[in-house]
Structure 1
Amino acid sequence: MSICSAVPMSVRLSARSPLAPKEATRRPTLLDTCETEAQILPMSDSDADTRHVGGRGAVLLVDHGSRRTEANALLDEVAALVKQRLGARSIVEPAHMEIADPTIAQGFTRCVEQGATTVVVHPFMLAPGRHVTEDLPRLVAEAAELHDGVAFAMAAPLGSHAGVIDAVIDRCQGALPDAQSGKD
């Protein structure tokens, strides 16, 4: 599944990207959006017309938000690690759906202030529950309305991605040395 699997649209890069081979046979990556043209494409022919936007792409990582500072700090750490992986020129911002700052509107604005014209919103959540399928798309659309000419797309939640499965196995194996017997 692509990082830009969308609800209901997905972001793909133009084949005219300077990073794409002349034959445009490879599928562009999120890394390409840092400095190349981005394009919003409908997922099916029945969807709305294609809108073309030039500029830089950004990643907005969104979690639920918590009253616990440590829980919110984790998203900051993940955002920093994603930015490190994508490169120093990338735009990666954290945001929380509720309870804590930065809000989705604040995070979206930070992306735009850094030059983003396309924002890929990744729900840093496991399942496509109500927050992912209803609340988050609504809140992101409201934030985007404040920024003319800025497109957005919703990435899929973490779900059963192979990397998540690997992390579950790794965490469980790491817990084995701490296993305790139920008998005294």
Structure 2
Amino acid sequence: MRGLLVIGHGSRRWEANATVRELARQLADDQRWEAAVAAFLEVSHPDIAEGYGVLAAGGCTEIIAYPFFLFDGNHTHRDIPAALEAARESHPATRWVLSEPLGLHACVIEAVRARLADTLVRTASSGDRDSR
């Protein structure tokens, strides 16, 4: 059985963590895995070991870990793999593979263009800038 672990950074802001949980919820019904769980690198729970444990306890022997980060960096090359390997030690019948973050994928570039276009339309129609 295969499980998906959606890994967010973790934040003190409830909204940021809720986005990671919502992504896992929306990906849960994908036929390529039996379950999807959100987990966090730091600050919030479940942490990576707890999320990994939920999937392993549910019978998943292969864990696909998706870092819900925009860019590649130390977290995706060092911190997350170390946490996944530590979690696997408690579940030796499992194995994990780490997906790449979005980075400059074409869909990200198009999403940025769409957001900028929305901002320009909003600015033009309101006559002033949104200062949030």
The answer to whether TM tops 0.5 is: yes
Query: Comparing 62-71 with 154-163, which one deviates more in the overlay?
Result: 154-163
Q: Does 1:69 align with 2:23?
A: no
One-letter amino acid of the structure 1 residue matched with residue 26 of structure 2: L
Q: What residue is the counterpart of 1:133 in the other structure?
A: 77
**TM-superposed deviation, 1:181:** 4.7
Q: Unaligned stretches of 5+ in structure 2? A: none
**CA RMSD, Structure 1 to Structure 2 (Å):** 1.8
Q: What residue is the counterpart of 1:172 in the other structure?
A: 116
Residue deviations 1:162-182 (CA, integer Å, cap 9, x gap) = 222222122222222222557
Q: In the aligned structure 1, how far is the partner of 2:24 from the partner of 2:119?
A: 26
Q: Does 1:112 align with 2:56?
A: yes
Larger Rg: 1
One-letter amino acid of the structure 2 residue matched with residue 139 of structure 1: A
Q: What residue is the counterpart of 2:5 in the other structure?
A: 60
Q: What residue is the counterpart of 2:106 in the other structure?
A: 162
Q: What residue is the counterpart of 2:23 in the other structure?
A: 78
Q: Unaligned stretches of 5+ in structure 1? A: 1-55
Q: In the aligned structure 2, how far is the partner of 1:173 from the partner of 1:81?
A: 26
Residue deviations 1:27-50 (CA, integer Å, cap 9, x gap) = xxxxxxxxxxxxxxxxxxxxxxxx
Q: Under a length normalisation based on structure 1, what TM-score does the superposition of the two structures give?
A: 0.64
Which of 96, 100, 108 is 2:40 aligned to?
96
**TM-superposed deviation, 1:127:** 1.3
Q: What is the total number of aligned residue pairs between the two structures?
A: 126
Which 4+ runs in 1 deviate beyond 4 A?
none
Give the SS at the match of 1:116: coil
Identity %: 33
Q: Under a length normalisation based on structure 2, what TM-score does the superposition of the two structures give?
A: 0.87
Give the SS at the match of 2:39: strand
One-letter amino acid of the structure 1 residue matched with residue 77 of structure 2: T
Residue deviations 1:79-110 (CA, integer Å, cap 9, x gap) = 111113x14x7311100000000100010011
Q: In the aligned structure 2, how far is the partner of 1:69 from the partner of 1:103?
A: 15
Give the SS at the match of 2:61: strand
Greater share of helix: 2
Q: In the aligned structure 1, how far is the partner of 2:69 from the partner of 2:99?
A: 11
